[in-house]
Every structure is written in C-alpha cells, then in structure tokens.
Amino acid sequence: MNDKSIRDQSNAPRIDAEEILAGVLEWVGIESPTHDAAAVNRMADRVQHDMGGIGAHVERIPGVDGFGDLLKARTPWGGDGPGILVLSHIDTVHPIGSIDDILPVRREEDRVYGPGIYDMKAGAYLAYYAYRHLVRMGVETPLPITFLYVPEEEVGSPTSREIIEREALNNKFVLVTEPAREGGKIVTSRKGVADFHLTVKGRPAHAGSRHEDGRSAIKEMAKQILRLEEMTDYESGITFNVGMIEGGTGINVVPAQCTVHVDMRVPDEASAETMCERILGLTVFDSDTTLEVTGGMNRPAFNKDEKIAALFEHAKSLAAEVGFELEDVLKTGGGSDGNFTAALGVPTLDGLGADGHGAHSDYEHIYYSSLEPRAKLMLRLLQTLT
C-alpha cells in the first residue's frame, strides 16, 4: 500500500455530490427485488451500459436458479494480474411499486429516501463513479480493478458465491460497497450467518370429537421456538430469530404439520460449530411427534485479522487526507459477500458505501453529506493500493 498520489491532481475534475446523487437516483429508479429476475436484469442492463461506456471490459454471466445475471467489469489496464476486487450487489428487498407507494424518492434536507438507496444502490454507484472519475482524470491505478455486481446478495448469494470466492483469490484486496454504519463507520468484521428449517409432524384429529387422538405439531413447534429463542445470548453475540412459521389446515383440525425458518448469527467459527451441532441435534418434547432439522452456515464469520487491520489503518489515513475521521465497527450482525472473501484470508474492507439509516425499511435513506467524502475515499483507495 502506498500513500503517494498518482500524479498532481490540482487541475483534476471535481467530485460533485449533486452529480453523484443524480446518478444514484437513476439507479434507484430501476427497482430490482431479488426474486424478480427480469427486474434485476433491467438493473444489470443499466450497469452494463454505464460501465461499458467508460471503457470497462464487461462480462455478463447468465443467472441460474431463477436469479438475475451477474456482471463482472474490469479496467482496461493492469492485465490479468491480481489487483482490487470491488464487490457490490444490485438486488434489493423492496418489491416492485415501492417507489410509487411506501418509499417514494424524495430529499428532505440531508436525507434522501428511496427503495434500496442505502442498501445498496448508493454504494454500488459510488464504485462506478470512482472508476468514472479515474477515466475522466486520465489516470490508471497501480493495480487492475475488477468490479462484481451480484444479483442475489440479499438472500445469501447462493449462485454467486463460487464466482465471488474465485475472484477474491485472484486479487490482493477486496472492497465491499455495503452501506456505512452509524456515523460513517466502515466494517472490519461481521458475524457468521446460518439458516435452519424445522419441520414437526404430529397426528391429525377432529379438534372437537376426537381431540385426544391428535398430536399437535404446532404445540410441539411452539416449545421448540421457545427453546430456540432462549438460546439468544447478547453478551456472547449469538442471536436466534424464528422469522417464518406455517402450520395447520383448519381451526377444527389438530395440526399434523408445522414448519419454521430460523436465522442464527454467531461471532466466530467456534460458536458456529457449537451452535450448529446443538440445533441439528434438537429432539422432540412429545415422543409421538417427529422433528426434522435441516440447514447450516451460509456465511462464515468475517474476522478482523492483521491484514485487515493494516488495510483499515491505510483507509483511515486516506480519510484523514480527505478531511474526516474514519472509524470501524466490529461484529456487525448483518452478513455480506465480504464474509466470503475475508474467510479466505483476502484483506477485506466492508461498509464503504454511503452513510444513512433504515436498511430494508419504509424509511430507508442516505445522507447526502456523505456522498462526496465516501467517493473520495473510494477513489483514493483505488489509487493507492499496491
């Protein structure tokens, strides 16, 4: 890593927050919920057009399993050698029509609202903007840059993970444009993420005349849910959330089946192994019912090692050069594609997108004041990593 400027940039084009915001809002205007492949591909069309228009070599990888396409864009300089991988995703959690209903685009003083603007259309656009700024300055970076725009990060990147990991291993650094955390902090570690499906099977019966013959799957699952929720340990950083439940066929039928979908977050690999073994080994309370548990870790824990610490200190010095103090946040609960790359030992910085609040909510917004400094930080990272 190197702090020196590539060249004297006193006459370079100015990074303009209004210009950035205009571009961000164009991307936000293309709604792209994960499970709508056609919508995600409309967003991919736009990114492909924008990246290709400034000289990037763009490869479009067709989506599989009902997901949208993945885009890989590489700078025309630097050859095929290892360089910088910039990770972004173009899918959001907001359904089509949110922009016209619950989350219209609007600016209220420093806050700019819109579906997916914080997580993470603004960050995805900042990566593009930083590259465009390099092109406008006529500057090539010491390392080649590869940009990946992923179509299904919001559901764990099940079809993109292999590509993400392969590209990470072919590069020296990974920069992830997920949103900044409170006050503009970047992320240098994250919890690991797991999901489990539990299915209880009982015995149906008439709820009135033969109630005693039945064995309620919902009753058994209720006990399992309480057992799972009680495993949450905030002090240890372990959380469980039973987020979805389905069961029964009618109010007058003792329910024969019940299923739940469970989210688990853990701070490290040791706790992941322990808790996964515990969940997969759950047994029934009522021996006349059966319990099936499937699932496991889908994102490994992202730990701040010495290489990540050194990369953060470099970013911190660049932020000071830009004019703000950069801090990091440890073991944030949300997962990202950075979990995959950090687990491979590739130095990874995450949360390099815009500052804001309300990810996945009906009040999701970014802070306009964060756009210029975040763009400058991204630009300087691309210019100085060697």
Question: How far is the C-alpha of 367 from the C-alpha of 260, rounded, in Å?
Answer: 37
Looking at the structure, tell me whether residues 155 and 259 fall in a common domain: no
Task: Report pLDDT for 81.
Answer: 86
Q: pLDDT by residue (tens digit) across 95-149? A: 999 999 999 999 999 999 999 999 999 999 999 999 999 999 999 999 999 999 9
Question: Are 114 and 162 within one domain?
Answer: yes
By DSSP bridging, strand 186-187 and strand 257-266 are unpaired
The amino acid that residue 236 corresponds to is S
Q: Give the pLDDT confidence of 292-332 residue by residue, as tens digits.
A: 999 999 999 999 999 999 999 999 999 999 999 999 999 88
What digits encode the pLDDT tens for the residues 16-67?
Answer: 999 999 999 999 999 999 999 999 999 999 999 999 999 999 999 999 999 9
Same domain, 127 and 169: yes
User: What share of the chain in percent tops pLDDT 90?
Assistant: 94
Same domain, 108 and 175: yes
The pLDDT value given to residue 211: 97
Answer whether 73's CB lies under 8 Å from 51's CB.
Answer: yes
Give the pTM.
0.91
pLDDT higher than threshold 50 for residue 2: no
Residue that is last in its domain, among 299, 325, 344? 299
Q: How far apart are CA 275 and CA 290, in angstroms?
A: 21
Is the pLDDT score of 6 beyond 50?
A: no
Pair (30, 156) in one structural domain: yes
In a domain, 8, yes or no: no
**pLDDT of 8 strictly over 70:** no
Clarify whether residues 222 and 155 are in a common domain.
no
Together in a domain, 293 and 362: no
One domain, residues 104 and 250: no
Other beta carbons within 10 Å of 15: 18
**In which element (H, E) is residue 130 found?**
helix 122-137
- Is the domain of 165 the same as that of 289? no
Q: Are residues 171 and 268 in the same domain?
A: no
User: Where is the domain boundary, 265, 299, 333?
Assistant: 299
Answer yes or no: is 2 within a domain: no
The pLDDT value given to residue 11: 59
Helix (H) or strand (E) holding 218: helix 217-229
* Mean of the per-residue pLDDT values of the chain: 95
Residue 344: pLDDT over 80: yes
pLDDT (tens digit, 9 = 90+) per residue, 188-202?
999 999 999 999 999
Q: What share of the chain is helix, strand, coil (3-state, %, to 5)?
A: 35, 25, 40
Boundary (domain end) residue, out of 299, 334, 360: 299
Task: Count how many domains the chain has.
Answer: 2
Note whether 116 and 135 are same-domain residues.
yes
Same domain, yes or no: 105 and 166: yes
Q: Is the model's pLDDT at 9 over the cut of 60?
A: no
SS3 call for 89: strand
Would you say residue 80 has pLDDT above 90?
Answer: no
The parent domain of residue 244 ranges over: 193-299
Is 161 within a domain? yes
DSSP 232: -
